[in-house]
Structure 1
Amino acid sequence: MTSEWRSTEGAVVCIGETMAALAPAPSSSLECADDLRVSVAGAESNVAMYLADLGIPVSWLSAVGDDPLGRRVLAEVGAAGVDVSGVRCDPERPTGLLVKEPTGSRTRVHYYRGNSAASAMGPDVLDDGRLGSASILHLTGVTPALSPSCRSLVATALTVPPADRPYAISFDVNHRPALWPPGTAATVLRDLADRADITFVGLDEARELWDADLQPADVRALLPHPRLLVVKDGGHSAIAFSDEGVRTVPALDTDVVEPVGAGDAFAAGVLTGLLRAEGMERALRLGHITAASALKVTADHGPLPDSARIEWLLELPTSEWAAGAGTSFCG
């Protein structure tokens, strides 16, 4: 896989909206909570922050409002080690906002992002000079749902022939039903996902989008063109389809505080493994390790185990990993 990439030394570039996020404590209801925790939330910046945690140079391109929440977003993403110098501050549009509502084992998300600064992004974002030396451009299915100009941005990026770009394109389907007009997401997301070099999709969202009876191999039949397709089967396993064949790696057994952000963390771990040319098994394991960090916190971005613990997990024999390495996740 990585041998086909023309520039594995360059930084990863992630493009997409990040919002300020408000959330009550995990055990509190939104209606009764006296306090809400402020954090930042965005699929692409989540990936960027985890990549930075894992030692990968990474830039995030986006737009925020020229307001306190926009400055909060820039400060937090930048503090994680991500280059945010290419983010535009819009004096006329606000930074997007979301509010999390814990509901048992799931979290409902309410979006307040209409006419946000990031929704005004368009294909001109692709003119940024950072893409000229990038190793990977990471996009998600959230962005094309934000506005026609954002959809054009993603579609334009995915129409650039491989011979005309130094980077591979990674695309996480990241279906957010609340952002799409009824009946539109399935066709658009399938078309975009099938044009990427590396595609991530949850089995649950694939079933919601395309067919309730889909199995991982059926998803590959629907998306035959990516050089690497990774199907995430919730907390069970991840299945990779590539020229190397099919590889399945079980997920770590992890206590879940909140699931939001785990898919982004998983993508960052897998991309890191690919950039380091560590092989598909280790790349998928690193995805699971990184995802477990997100599952353990209410924010979208959680702390990773130390490098020694990560390496220990990566080196475990297959039988020991499958037998419950997750019980030793935190040492």
Structure 2
Amino acid sequence: MPDVLCLGESMALFVPAEEGPADQVRTWVRTVGGAESNVACTLAQLGVRAGWVSAVGADPFGRAVVAAVAAAGVDVSRVRVDPERPTGVYIKESNAAGSPVRYYRHGSAASAMTPALLAGLDLDGVRVVHLSGITAALSPSCLDLMGAVMDLPRRAHRVSFDLNWRPALWAGGDRGVLRALAARADIVLVGADEAAAVWGTGVPAAVRALLPEPETLVVKQGGIGATLIERDPATGRDRAEVFGPALRVDIVEPVGAGDAFAAGFLAAWLAGGSPLRRLRAGHLQAAGVLRTHHDVAVPLPRELVADLLDADAATWATTHLTAQGVRRG
């Protein structure tokens, strides 16, 4: 059984193979994109046993998505093939300031997922079930599925929830659903900008005041860093905030960096890492994705990751990841 089971939609992703606006690009590269499978693929690269649960269409794109995720070392045995509905598709332009994304996922196979997907799902040995707010927005049945996952007895596993705010999916929808789902999770990851858009504040302490229930809360503050607030199980009270500065990175485009951060953080959490080590592990995986056009990146060299995880504050602060490699100072 996998250590981490990730549940959510993945789609065929097309990224430009040449420079220029989308209406002028003639050559595109097909790959795979989806928050939860991104996390699963990155975890597998880190040596964590990961599985992905979803639904795809009985079409070439569905076969390509499943094959690509499986090739990354992820267990895809729980993916359902829908004989009637198609696999979703999305198009991503590349821009270091924020890449425009266009989704073609209405009526997709994954949008028809229901709590029946959990029938026979064996969680023995699973330590984390990872979800995101995207799934809750796909359809009423997907929202029911999210609730059913939250209802599963927590014998040995924890639920990780990444807000993954997608405004277009929530047009006219009830944002309070996201607060209710996050409150039922054990580990919550949210971008400060997302929290500000959905809950009115991105200040870590204020987000915690709005969301006191989870054991662990991570507020990602973009290029500044990330703050972890965690409850002490012995006292039931929050420990002091831990802030982990981000690495300096020459950004190609940012889509997928949050998923990579989640994978790095969860891998370090599974390994019993300290709060700062968990945050650094997240930053290191995010840095790899920030330097590529794809949602899942080739991992940074293991030696570099090992050195930076245990680096002193000065070394971390003066490390700069460029297109050419690592620059110090």
State TM-score, norm by structure 2: 0.92
Measured after TM superposition, the shift of residue 266 of structure 1 is 0.1
2:263 to 265, 268, 274: 268
AA partner of residue 143 (structure 1)? T
Structure 2 residue aligned with 1:206: 195
Q: Which amino acid aligns with 2:146?
A: V
Separation in 2, partners of 1:330, 1:52:
24
Structure 1 residues 16 and 301, CA, compared in 2 at 3 Å: closer, same or farther?
A: same
Q: Distance in 2 between matches of 1:304 and 1:120?
A: 33
Q: Equivalences for 1:1-331 in 2 at 5 Å?
A: 11-25=3-17, 27-102=19-94, 105-162=97-154, 165-184=155-174, 186-211=175-200, 213-243=201-231, 244-324=239-319, 326=321, 330-331=325-326
Maintained 8 Å contact 1:261/1:301 = yes
Instruction: Specify the code of the residue in structure 2 equivalent to 1:319.
Output: A
CA 1:327/1:79 → structure 2, altered by over 3 Å: closer, same or farther?
same
Q: Secondary structure at the match of 1:171?
A: strand
SS of the aligned residue for 2:241 comes to strand
Q: Distance in 2 between matches of 1:25 and 1:217?
A: 42
Provide the C-alpha distance between the structure 1 equivalents of 2:150 and 2:230, rounded to a whole number of angstroms. 19
CA contact (8 A) 2:18 2:25 kept: no
Give structure 1 stretches of 5+ with no counterpart: 1-8
Residue 230 of structure 1 aligns to a residue whose secondary structure is strand
Normalised TM-score (structure 1)? 0.92
Q: Is the 8 A contact 1:26 1:298 kept in 2?
A: no
Distance 1:322 1:130, change over 3 A: farther
- Following TM superposition, by how much is the alpha carbon of 1:36 offset from its aligned partner in structure 2, in angstroms? 1.3
Q: Distance in 1 between matches of 2:246 and 2:308?
A: 12
Q: CA shift at 1:326, angstroms?
A: 4.3
Deviation readout 1:262-318 (Å, 9 max, x if unpaired) = 000000000000000121111110100000111111110111112211101111012
- Cα distance in 1 for partners of 2:96, 2:257 equals 17
Moved more, 231-240 or 242-251: 242-251
| 1:67 partner amino acid | D
Over aligned residue pairs, what C-alpha RMSD do you find?
1.8
**Change over 3 Å in CA distance of 1:328–1:69 after alignment to 2:** closer
**Matched residue of 1:245: which SS?**
coil
- Residue 240 of structure 2 aligns to which amino acid in structure 1? G
Aligned length: 319
The one-letter code sitting in structure 2 at the alignment partner of 1:308 is E
2:234 paired residue number: none
Identity %: 47
Q: Is the 8 A contact 1:271 1:283 kept in 2?
A: yes
Task: State how far apart, in whole Å, the 1-side matches of 2:215 and 2:58 are.
Answer: 40
- For structure 2, the residue ranges without an aligned partner over 5 or more in a row are 232-238
The C-alpha deviation readout for 1:86-113, integer Å capped at 9, x for no partner, is 1111111100001113456221111111
How much has 1:321 moved relative to structure 2? 1.2
SS at match of 1:31: coil
Q: Matches of 2:45 and 2:323 in 1, distance apart? A: 20
Indicate how the Cα distance of structure 1 residues 280 and 307 shifts in structure 2: closer, same or farther if over 3 A, else same: same
